[in-house]
Amino acid sequence: MATVSLRLGDLVWGKLGRYPPWPGKIVNPPKDLKKPRGKKCFFVKFFGTEDHAWIKVEQLKPYHAHKEEMIKINKGKRFQQAVDAVEEFLRRAKGKDQTSSHNSADDKNRRNSSEERSRPSSGDEKRKLSLSEGKVKKNVGEGKKRVSSGSSERGSKSPLKRAQEQSPRKRGRPPKDEKDLTIPESSTVKGMMAGPMAAFKWQPTVSEPVKDADPHFHHFLLSQTEKPAVCYQAITKKLKICEEETGSTSIQAADSTAVNGSITPTDKKIGFLGLGLMGSGIVSNLLKMGHTVTVWNRTAEKCDLFIQEGARLGRTPAEVVSTCDITFACVSDPKAAKDLVLGPSGVLQGIRPGKCYVDMSTVDADTVTELAQVIVSRGGRFLEAPVSGNQQLSNDGMLVILAAGDRGLYEDCSSCFQAMGKTSFFLGEVGNAAKMMLIVNMVQGSFMATIAEGLTLAQVTGQSQQTLLDILNQGQLASIFLDQKCQNILQGNFKPDFYLKYIQKDLRLAIALGDAVNHPTPMAAAANEVYKRAKALDQSDNDMSAVYRAYIH
């Protein structure tokens, strides 16, 4: 994009990494978010999302001048929602400008009318002159005996009090104290809407006085659905911890709809191993939120995009661990997780006392327990933190993180977890997160197989699959997951958002977990067989919704 002349408050199209140009607004960054060195850039809050980032000038275009061009090349639903959010913002700003102008005119008319009504008559002027003369005489003759009781009475009252007694306050003209309260509010609204720093109409929280509100700070904190503002005090603490009845702890952003808005990145050096569907989105969000990240991937070419976005390149897992304070890893299965730690130039070779390792892979409890033991035996600190979600949620920073192990390390990871997810749970000792994650994915995988089964049954019995989806979307099962997966099937689009081979792996591990405690899992076992058939039909690298093809072949 060509370089343009921009300033604070401008609406723009911003290009961030691999993402398409997106509508946003140049706003003030939080005080504790440092501006990147190098080329000139602006801090942009993007509409329709909770994303914000420093964007180089050459990656920005004015909104109005390029609106038609951008709308032609971007047709997605979320993009259209973002454009709608911009237009709604502009309508509100225009409406407030008109209201402000109308109110200003009314105020002027009221003042003129009030001045006309309060203009003194000739009789009033004589009385005021008499009062003034009495005041002068009082001052001159102070200390002398007063000549009359009437003169004494007049001299004992202040001019303001006498004026109030003689001339009652006219309607429409507030006393001085009332006027002082109303003028700042009016000028604040006027300034917000007329100046370049115009922002949405935010609703202050009870815990936050209006006078302390910073509209530009809240602008990138909040969703554009006008939900109540996240209070600044809660944001600066970054996280709130609530103990559940189960004894687990959930650490959440102060407002899950604004989960990425208030992050103060840790000053610790972060490493990340594994740039697959989930890992790529996680690293992108860590970088956007200002973390210092070193990356490694088995296929080195996948690192190039992140290097361009400011990440550093590690040559081996051992090098990443040795040069970073906290290293995260997200790989495909138990074997890959073990090879990454125990293999040549692996994680274990870089571990020394104080080094931290966080495994975000979905594996079984035995695998993660073994990895924890070898890491801790070298003086390292270990946390398991598998994530619930898919590629889209990873890109959006809306994953759910299930953690267990070193509680102190969990808290040290708070800014990272905020960057990548909307909620994180601490579940106690190592192994608990692995078990919980397998149970979650067992339910999800079984549900997906049931959806596919229902759609194929509708087809073979002469029912409309679209009508079935419409009915489900109006009932208790309605969810984003249901709608997206059914749309995949109806459109024949099985581009992976969650690999089929990985959900089958999770079902297999969940069944083994049930066997270990002699607990029946017949539903999961039946679903697992359907996924195995889909794999035999070469659907492994497609989305899990491709399990549908197991029913039609």
Counting Cα atoms < 13 Å in the Cβ hemisphere of 405 gives: 33
Distance CA 321, CA 408 (A): 18
Cβ proximity of 461 and 453 under 8 Å: no
Cβ proximity of 56 and 44 under 8 Å: no
Distance CA 468, CA 160 (A): 79
Residue 434 CB partners (closer than 8 Å, separation 6+)? 362, 363, 364, 365, 367, 368, 384, 386, 404
Residue 534, pLDDT score: 98
Other C-beta atoms closer than 10 Å to the C-beta of 353 total 8
Cα dist. 499→16, 421, 546 in Å? 26, 20, 9
Residue 154, pLDDT score: 42
Cβ proximity of 300 and 320 under 8 Å: no
What pTM did the predictor assign? 0.58
Residue numbers in the chain where pLDDT is lower than 50: 1-2, 121-123, 125-246, 251-261
Cβ proximity of 48 and 81 under 8 Å: yes
Q: Pick from 233, 228, 221: which is nearest to 258 by CA? A: 221
The arrangement of secondary structure in 437-550, i.e. its CATH architecture, is Orthogonal Bundle (1.10)
Residue 79, pLDDT score: 81
| Domain residue ranges in the chain | 10-93, 270-429, 437-550
Locus of tokens 């003169």? 151
pLDDT in tens, 437-483: 999 999 999 999 999 999 999 999 999 999 999 999 999 999 999 99
Tokens found for residue 329? 């890893």
Length of the chain in residues, anyone? 553
Please report, in angstroms and rounded to a whole number, the separation of the first and last CA atoms in the chain: 48
What is the DSSP pairing of strand 326-329 with strand 356-359?
Answer: parallel
Query: 10-93 has which CATH code?
Result: 2.30.30.140
Cβ proximity of 506 and 438 under 8 Å: yes
What is the DSSP pairing of strand 60-62 with strand 293-296?
Answer: unpaired
Locus of tokens 């808005």? 261
Tokens found for residue 34? 């440092």
Residue 69, pLDDT score: 86
Cβ proximity of 22 and 81 under 8 Å: no
Residue 379 CB partners (closer than 8 Å, separation 6+)? 351, 352, 353, 354, 355
Query: 270-429 has which CATH code?
Result: 3.40.50.720
Distance CA 292, CA 323 (A): 12
Residue 18, pLDDT score: 58
Distance CA 69, CA 227 (A): 32
Residue 102, pLDDT score: 62
Other C-beta atoms closer than 10 Å to the C-beta of 31 total 9
Cβ proximity of 264 and 415 under 8 Å: yes
Q: What are phi and psi of 405, to 5 degrees?
A: 125, -125
- Three-state SS for 223-254 is CCCCCCCCCHHHHHHCCEEEECCCCCEEEECC
Distance CA 401, CA 395 (A): 14
Other C-beta atoms closer than 10 Å to the C-beta of 46 total 21
